[in-house]
A and B are shown apart, each in its own frame.
Chain A
Amino acid sequence: MEFLNAFVAFSNFVIVPAIAYGSQLALGALGVTLIYGILRFSNFAHGDTMAFGAMVTILVTWWFQSMGINLGPMPTALLALPFGIAGAALLVLATDRMVYRFYRAQKAAPVILVIVSMGVMFVMNGLVRFIIGPDGQQFADGERFIISARNFKTMTGLSEGLAFRTSQAITIVTAVIVVALLFWFLNKTRTGKSMRAFSDNEDLALLSGINPERVVAYTWIIVAALATIAGVLYGLDKGFKPFTYFQLLLPIFASAIVGGLGNPLGAIAGGFVIAFSEVTVTYAYKKVLIYLLPESLEPSTLVQLLSTDYKFAVSFAILIIVLLFKPTGLFKGNTA
């Protein structure tokens, strides 16, 4: 019983949140890795693309709510998601047309494109704050819990509760579906294969008659979809605030690099590695240890390895360790 309680507490505060957070990071990192693989630069504007897509989704959600349209127990945001994706896709395609295409035609070095993307980041950043404001927004509605802590306790008779929130379940299910769709697209369709070919060997892809502008446009649309979905899921789970999305850039890049830049499978693995490290290192283990240890050894402190304020340090540390020992990432990616 003591052990079960410890396990439930651990699941409630570490495993379930980390899986949800890992799914969000994985979706974000997939976008970063696709841009790196095909357009060959690290897109610093990715966090703000997520924020923009999420913002459009929120605005449409509010509009739906004002008209009384909802999804019952599910959040209305899911209904608004396609609009958010379309909005983000239009934004990145316009950005590509106005900004990136110019540098592509000049065959600008990747480092120049990185700086350019930082400029784009600031513009998108301002755009989002200008439209929706810098404050936090709540837009989650519908049923809050699938299993609430109290229900879990009465169901199992344990003294610890395991809460499973709707947003967490939606995050995990959506992430699985999106990843499956993405891999099907990249591996089975002609367009997806041409994207992989372009990423693998640009010159040979051109020789084979693959149209680079088409590949680039498809990439941006897919990246906009991934970014918006990641942004909305994160917002449903933890609330929307433009600044948090900017901050998410670090763990997302860490995930993509840890997994191996340019490798989609690596991005997913990297997302979970970063999420689990962040959550396990910043969790206070006191509660779990009280159940597991005899009374005499009970901890008097929180037994927290690192304060949550330092959670970004975890991404950094893992990033550095991986780059030191395996510069191409855990999975075989392009050298960063």
Chain B
Amino acid sequence: MSNPFLIGENMTGGYGRGADILHDCTISVAKGEIAVIVGPNGAGKSTAMKAVFGMLNLHKGSVRLDGEDITKLAPQARVAKGMGFVPQTQNIFTSMTVEENLEMGAFIRTDDFSNTLSQVYDLFPILKEKRYQAAGELSGGQRQQVAVGRALMTKPKLLMLDEPTAGVSPIVMDELFDRIIEVARSGISILMVEQNARQALEIADKGYVLVQGRNRFTDSGKALLADPEVRKSFLGG
């Protein structure tokens, strides 16, 4: 953990001129690993992720990607640096076809992206089947696949997912987690916020338990699952 690929260190800040939501919060991901942020409602999980992505005013702390300080960069510039972000809601272009969604994901690329397109289709075969269908007509799980696929089109080195399994059935959730593991195996680091803490920690190399904008527990996913205090307070026994 001496040299993480991405680290948001001692982040303190909030939205606009509002009160601070994060207090001295540190989140990091190593190359090709899955890091998961869990915690109770209102703990600032999504906020921590948005802070890493530059959607928050940080007045303390820094964000570094691959050793480079990106604290001052706008979210769009971070996309160009190799960060992919999948928002929790409204993460697809509903009126456009699946393929057009993926094309828009690759908008900043000037090279030929047909290879990446077929990689995404290999990862999510159902998307290839429905490539000419409007993304808004797909089921919840399929929409999430479109959203993840769109973010993968820039060939990011780090993929950030804000509750990718919100509102999908347990079977679809398992399937999505499998896909996310597959993405991580291809060398892409994953930072993920999850409501389904237990399942998410099972696949996590690293877990962060946030409470009221502060780091409460930080350990490997397995260790957190085994920790009696974490189990009692956050995993329902």
Contact = CB atoms under 8 A, between A and B. Distances in A.
Q: Answer whether A and B are interacting partners.
A: yes
Interface of A: 190, 193-194, 196-197, 199-201, 203-210
Interface of B: 75-76, 79-80, 85, 87, 90-96, 100, 103-105, 107-108, 150, 154
A208 B94 contact: no
24 contacts: A190-B103, A193-B103, A194-B107, A196-B93, A196-B100, A197-B96, A197-B100, A200-B94, A200-B95, A201-B92, A201-B93, A203-B90, A204-B90, A204-B93, A204-B150, A205-B104, A207-B79, A207-B85, A208-B79, A208-B104, A209-B76, A209-B80, A209-B108, A210-B107
Contact of A201 (B90, B100, B103, B108): B90
Question: Ordered nearest first, which 8 A-B pairs have the shortest CB separation?
Answer: A209-B108, A200-B93, A197-B104, A208-B107, A200-B95, A208-B104, A209-B107, A197-B93
Contacts of A197: 93, 96, 100, 104, 107
B94 A193 contact: no
A204 B94 contact: no
Nearest to A187: B100
A204 B102 CA distance: 12
B95 A208 contact: no
B210 to A, nearest CB: 24
Given A203-B90, A208-B150, A209-B154, 17 more contacts: A190-B107, A193-B103, A194-B104, A196-B96, A200-B93, A201-B90, A201-B92, A201-B93, A201-B94, A204-B91, A205-B93, A207-B75, A207-B85, A208-B79, A208-B105, A209-B76, A209-B107
Contact of A206 (B76, B94, B100): B76
A210 B154 CA distance: 13
Given A204-B87, A207-B75, A209-B79, A196 B95 contact: yes
Contact of A200 (B87, B96, B154): B96
Given A197-B104, A208-B150, A209-B107, A203 B87 contact: yes
Contacts of A193: 96, 100, 103-104
A316 B76 CA distance: 44
Contacts of A190: 103, 107
A300 to B, nearest CB: 54
A65 to B, nearest CB: 46
A78 B195 CA distance: 62
* Chain A contact surface mostly: helix
A253 B153 CA distance: 39
A262 to B, nearest CB: 9
A196 B75 CA distance: 21
Nearest to B95: A200
Residue in A201, A207, A209 whose Cβ sees the most chain B Cβ within 10 Å: A207
A207 B92 CA distance: 11
A201 B108 CA distance: 17
Contacts of B85: 207
A209 B80 CA distance: 8
A45 to B, nearest CB: 27
A196 to B, nearest CB: 6
Nearest to A200: B93
B108 A204 contact: no
Contacts of B150: 204, 208
A208 B149 CA distance: 12
A197 B94 CA distance: 9
Nearest to B135: A200
B78 to A, nearest CB: 10
A53 B126 CA distance: 48
A201 B104 CA distance: 11
Contacts of B105: 208
Contacts of B103: 190, 193
Nearest to A332: B95
Contact of A204 (B80, B92, B100, B154): B92
Contacts of A210: 104, 107
A209 B108 CA distance: 6
A207 B153 CA distance: 12
A267 B75 CA distance: 35
Nearest to A206: B76
Residue in B75, B76, B85, B95 whose Cβ sees the most chain A Cβ within 10 Å: B95
Residue in B75, B80, B93, B94 whose Cβ sees the most chain A Cβ within 10 Å: B93
B145 to A, nearest CB: 15
Nearest to B101: A197
A36 to B, nearest CB: 14
A208 B93 CA distance: 11
A190 B90 CA distance: 22
A201 B76 CA distance: 15
B108 A208 contact: yes
A46 B18 CA distance: 40
A205 B103 CA distance: 12
A274 B85 CA distance: 45
A40 to B, nearest CB: 15
Contacts of B100: 193, 196-197
A203 B104 CA distance: 13
A210 B92 CA distance: 14
